[in-house]
Every structure is written in structure tokens, then in C-alpha cells.
Amino acid sequence: MRKISSLQEEIETWNSISTKTKDLLDLAKTGDESFRVELLQEINQLKQKLDSLELTTLLSGPYDKGNALLSINAGAGGTDAQDWAVMLMRMYLRWAEKNKYSSEVINKSDGEEAGIKSITILIEGSYAYGYLRAEKGVHRLVRLSPFDAAHRRHTSFVQVEVLPEVAAEDPSIIIKPDDLLIDIYKSSGAGGQNVQKNATAIRITHRPTGIVVSCQNERSQLQNKENAIKVLRGRLYELKLSEHEKQISKFRGEYQKAEWGNQIRSYILHPYRMVKDHRTEYETGNIDAVLDGDINALIETYLQSKNRKK
């Protein structure tokens, strides 16, 4: 039923565009100059809509249309990296807001001095995973450190992981209860009224793969477990996909590990201001807009570049 509903929505979208195009053609054929300004505005809006739909044709993966689980993990750089993780968290939350996606924090671990060590966010909306998977990889920040008394330049790294919210009924992902080791513990909080008095945080270890996921954001133990299972399903799917890509790479020779040092993008705040995507060579000097969530150009350029390589 979900597939039927999705296809119906897609058909209705194209039928609407077809009808709009015919109406605009009929209006243009009248030759009435009083409609020129309105006609040009309508044509530009239609072109923007078509450009957006053209981009979605590049998102043909089995879960590209669905929700995404976005994980941000501070890496090398100490407190600066944890602060950089917060900056990226804000960037993606603003991006979600601007693109009419809803967001929910599933798990969060605060840093000792500032920032966060890690966070997992569920981004819900059409094509959320398809777009956000372009962000998977290492993000590098270069700036004058606000945590250095000498105010020296520091380089920080954050790993961004993007997983699909895999449907529970997907037959390709099988989770056996006997394969799970579940630990229950008290959530860590900021203190005061936020401290959890009951053990509600969940840590799940998948014995066959060694994958460990945790969730402590909800006050309900059951809700934390459900969210942890969502993340586990996403990581099992990613593992399956990775193994498939490794097999293909034997023929392609294109497989590359996502590890520290292989940053996909650099954000330079000093000695100059620039954001550069190393996969596409796309760059922009408007770093403030990027950090405020305006990353569609970076995402679209990457998707178009990947399609050309195919």
C-alpha cells in the first residue's frame, strides 16, 4: 500500500506539471502582452519544479525515497572537534527545516567541556536518505580555535554517517532475537532535574557482526529499544551494501574506505573563508550560508557528478 501511495503521488505530480504546461502554452498562444510578466513568472516556477524533479531521478536506490538516520561523531581535534560536531548538527537541522523535513534526536552524547561527542538524528521526509547520503564521510574544519588560549589555528575532523530507516518488513534484513545482547543502564544527563532516576537507556550488541548501537534520548525504555533497533537495521543494511560494493570494486577498482584523512569536504574559516567539496571540486566562499543549512548546491553537484561517472 505504501508503494502504491508513493506511485500515485508521483503520477499526480507529473500530471499536474503536464496540465500546467498546456495551460501556459495556451496562454502564450493568445499573444496578449498583458500576460507576459505573469507568464514568465509561471514558466520560471515550472522550470524550478522540473529541475528539482530531474534531480530525484538520480535517487533510484531502494531506500532513497525514505527517511534517514544521520549520525555525527567527533573525531581528531579534541574539544574543537566536539564543538565542530555541534556546528554540523546545527547545519543539518537547519537544512532539514528549510527543506520541510522533520527531525528527531534519537541519541546524544555530550562532550566534557563543550560540544558533543556524537548524536544520531532521524530525518523524516520524502527523499531524505537519497539527498543526505551525499554527506557521508569526513568533514574537516580549519579555524582559529576558541578553546586555545593562544588563539592558534586548529584542524578538526568529524565523521558523518548516513543510514536508511530500513522498513521492519524488509526481508533482506533479518534480526534474530537470540543474536542480540541487550544492556539497560541509566541515561547520562546534564544534572538536576534532567538526571534519569530509572534505567531507560538501551545498548544493543549484534553478536554475528559485533555492531553496537545505543539510545538514551527517550524516557521510555521501550521507545529507546525501538529506536536502537532502527539504527541497527540501518547499519546492517549499510554493511550488506558495503560488502556488495567490495565485490563490484574487484571489477571497477573504485572502492575506497571512509576513514580519517579521506575527508570529503573542507570548511576553511582561517586564513581565508571557503567550503570545498573534494569529490566534485565545487567550492563557495559563502561559508556562513552553508553552516546555516544552505547545502543543496553541494548535495546536487555531488549527485550529478556521481551520475556522470556511472
Whether the CB-CB separation of 169 and 191 falls below 8 Å is answered with no
Higher pLDDT, 16 or 167: 16
What integer is the mean pLDDT of 219-246?
84
What pLDDT is recorded for position 245?
A: 67
Is 61 within the bounds of a domain? no
What pLDDT is recorded for position 197?
A: 55
pLDDT band at 73 (very low <50, low <70, confident <90, very high): very high
What pLDDT is recorded for position 94?
A: 97
Whether the CB-CB separation of 235 and 163 falls below 8 Å is answered with yes
Domain match, 80 and 116 both = yes
pLDDT band at 69 (very low <50, low <70, confident <90, very high): very high
Lookup: cell for 96: 532539514
Q: How far is residue 132's CA from residue 266's CA, in Å, rounded to a whole number?
A: 17
Q: How far is residue 154's CA from residue 160's CA, in Å, rounded to a whole number?
A: 20
The string of pLDDT tens digits covering residues 78-94 is 889 999 999 999 999 99
Q: What is the mean pLDDT of the chain?
A: 85
Domain match, 211 and 77 both = no
Q: Indicate whether 46 pLDDT > 70.
A: yes
What pLDDT is recorded for position 310?
A: 61
Is 62 within the bounds of a domain? no
Domain match, 41 and 109 both = no
Is 286 within the bounds of a domain? yes
Domain match, 271 and 204 both = no
Higher pLDDT, 33 or 98: 98
pLDDT band at 248 (very low <50, low <70, confident <90, very high): low
The string of pLDDT tens digits covering residues 167-187 is 766 777 888 999 999 988 877
Residue 197: CATH number of its domain: 3.30.160.20
Q: Which stretches of 98-136 are assigned E, i.e. beta strand?
A: 102-110, 116-124
Q: Indicate whether 38 pLDDT > 70.
A: yes
Q: How far is residue 84's CA from residue 41's CA, in Å, rounded to a whole number?
A: 41
Domain match, 182 and 280 both = no
Q: Indicate whether 260 pLDDT > 60.
A: no
What pLDDT is recorded for position 100?
A: 92
Domain match, 160 and 74 both = yes
What integer is the mean pLDDT of 6-22?
88
What integer is the mean pLDDT of 41-66?
84
Domain match, 165 and 75 both = yes
In this structure, the dihedral spanned by the alpha carbons of residues 297, 300, 301 and 305, taken in order and rounded to 10 degrees, is 180
Is 210 within the bounds of a domain? yes
Domain match, 152 and 280 both = yes
What pLDDT is recorded for position 151?
A: 80
Q: Indicate whether 300 pLDDT > 50.
A: yes
Domain count, the chain: 3
Q: Which of 193, 234, 200, 203 is nearest to 217 (CA)?
A: 200
With a pLDDT cut of 90, the percent of the chain lying above it is 42
Greatest Cα pair distance, the chain, in angstroms, is 74
| Domain ranges, residue 136 | 68-170+254-309
Domain match, 181 and 87 both = no
The string of pLDDT tens digits covering residues 98-148 is 999 999 998 888 888 888 999 999 999 989 999 999 999 999 999 998 888
Is 63 within the bounds of a domain? no
